[in-house]
């Protein structure tokens, strides 16, 4: 079993479908970790809440004409996280690398967004990183931390150096982050531009930007949605995307180049299950779109 022994079995299985690990194409990893949270906390409870939501919504995707029940999924359970950041990121890296070596597509349910740094260390630099997020997360440090949910994208840029970083849905940044993005060639598209360009043009522009890349890591911070659609996130920002626009763009770019993806920052105690349902549906749609693109 190797580093998968770091996982704690979970009573709930994502989408209620459980193939043997050896038979699965997609492997679910829960990482209940939110140590660096600076506004709301509670994303450590998200893997359980999203699993529960996944059991109570239909599995057929009208967008892709694929039923999730036909996919080969395996849910490992939750990572046994450490009480500090570096060790949790190391464990995340080890487990994701083992998934990739076994030719599986890791699906990480966080947990806070810092976890993407650990996963990207396993995926490596030969990859384009596509992020849906209200924030750029490009600060050099915040409240004394250089590795946190506000700085992880800068650490990825500096340490891993992916072939491209493309951030979609941004609407919250400071001047330091904007300067760093410009100087580092990090491309981002704001919510305001998405509305101005309409969805089809945005999808076209994103596809063109990613056309030359064979491998894509996808990370989804649920605060990319407007709080009206996803109120239970750790750092809500007004003036976000609607669920329809978000899923249209997301499904427009998901294909078989995605080697791994994560969904993070749901803090389920701040609503009555709405955000967890949106998160589960998002994972369904990504997986169905990837499956369809395999032909």
Q: List phi, psi (to 5°) of 278.
A: -60, -40
Pull the structure tokens for residue 107. 């699906």
The pLDDT, as a whole number, for residue 1 is 45
| Nearest in space to 267 (alpha carbons), one of 227, 224, 229, 233 | 233
Domains of the chain with CATH codes: 2-293 (3.40.800.10)
Cα 262 to the center of its chain, rounded Å = 3
- Between CA 238 and CA 274 the distance in angstroms is 17
Contact between 119 and 258 (Cβ < 8 Å): no
Between the two ends of the chain, the Cα-to-Cα distance in Å is 31
- Between CA 167 and CA 134 the distance in angstroms is 9
- Between CA 29 and CA 142 the distance in angstroms is 28
- Between CA 208 and CA 184 the distance in angstroms is 20
Q: What residues does 31 pair with on adjacent strands?
A: 110
The pLDDT, as a whole number, for residue 295 is 82
CA-to-CA separations, 70 to 52, 120, 185, 268, 274, in angstroms, rounded: 20, 28, 40, 28, 26
pTM confidence score: 0.96
CB atoms within 10 A of CB 203: 18
The pLDDT, as a whole number, for residue 206 is 95
SS3 annotation, the chain: CHHHHHEECCCCCHHHCCCCHHHCCEEEEEECCCCCCCCCCCHHHHHHHHHHHHCCCCCEECCCCEEHHHCCEEEEEEECCCCCHHHHHHHHHHHHHHHHHCCCEEEEEECCCCHHHHHHHHHCCCCEEEEECCECCCCCCECCECCCCCCHHHHHHHHHCCCEEEEEEECECCHHHHHHHHHHCCEEEEHHHHHHHHHHHHHHHHHHHHCCCCCEEEEEEHHHECCCCCCCECCCCCCCECHHHHHHHHHHHCCCCEEEEEEECECHHHCCCHHHHHHHHHHHHHHHHHHHHCC
Pull the structure tokens for residue 198. 């309409």
pLDDT tens across the length of the chain (295 residues): 455 567 676 678 999 989 999 999 999 999 999 999 999 999 999 999 999 999 999 999 999 999 999 999 999 999 999 889 999 999 999 999 999 999 999 999 999 999 999 999 999 999 999 999 999 999 999 999 999 999 999 999 999 999 999 999 999 999 999 999 999 999 999 999 999 999 999 999 999 999 999 999 999 999 999 999 999 999 999 999 999 999 999 999 999 999 999 999 999 999 999 999 999 999 999 999 999 999 8
* Residues 6+ away with beta carbon under 8 Å from 16: 54, 55
């Amino acid at each position: 079993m190797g580093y998968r022994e770091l996982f704690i079995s979970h009573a709930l299985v994502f989408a209620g479908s459980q193939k043997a690990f050896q038979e699965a194409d997609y492997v679910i990893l829960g990482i209940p970790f939110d140590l660096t949270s600076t506004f709301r906390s509670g994303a450590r409870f998200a893997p359980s809440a999203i699993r529960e939501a996944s059991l109570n919504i239909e599995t057929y995707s009208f967008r892709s004409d694929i039923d999730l029940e036909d996919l080969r999924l395996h849910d490992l359970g939750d990572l046994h996280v450490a009480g500090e950041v570096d060790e949790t990121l190391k464990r995340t890296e080890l487990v994701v690398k083992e998934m990739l070596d076994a030719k599986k597509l890791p699906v990480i349910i966080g947990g806070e967004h810092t976890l993407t740094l650990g996963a990207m260390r396993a995926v490596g630099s030969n990859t384009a990183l596509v992020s849906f997020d209200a924030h750029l997360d490009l600060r050099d440090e915040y409240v004394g931390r250089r590795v946190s949910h506000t700085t992880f994208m800068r650490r990825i840029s500096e340490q891993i150096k992916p072939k491209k970083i493309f951030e979609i849905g941004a609407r919250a940044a400071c001047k330091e982050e904007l300067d760093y993005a410009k100087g580092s060639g990090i491309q981002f598209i704001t919510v305001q531009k998405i509305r101005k360009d309409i969805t089809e043009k945005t999808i076209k522009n994103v596809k063109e930007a990613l056309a030359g890349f064979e491998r894509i890591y996808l990370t989804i911070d649920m605060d990319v949605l407007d709080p009206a659609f996803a109120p239970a996130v750790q750092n809500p920002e007004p003036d976000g995307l609607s669920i329809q626009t978000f899923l249209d763009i997301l499904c427009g770019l998901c294909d078989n180049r995605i080697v791994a993806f994560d969904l993070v920052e749901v803090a389920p105690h701040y609503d009555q299950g709405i955000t967890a349902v949106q998160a589960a549906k998002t994972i369904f749609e990504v997986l169905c779109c990837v499956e369809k693109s395999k032909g």
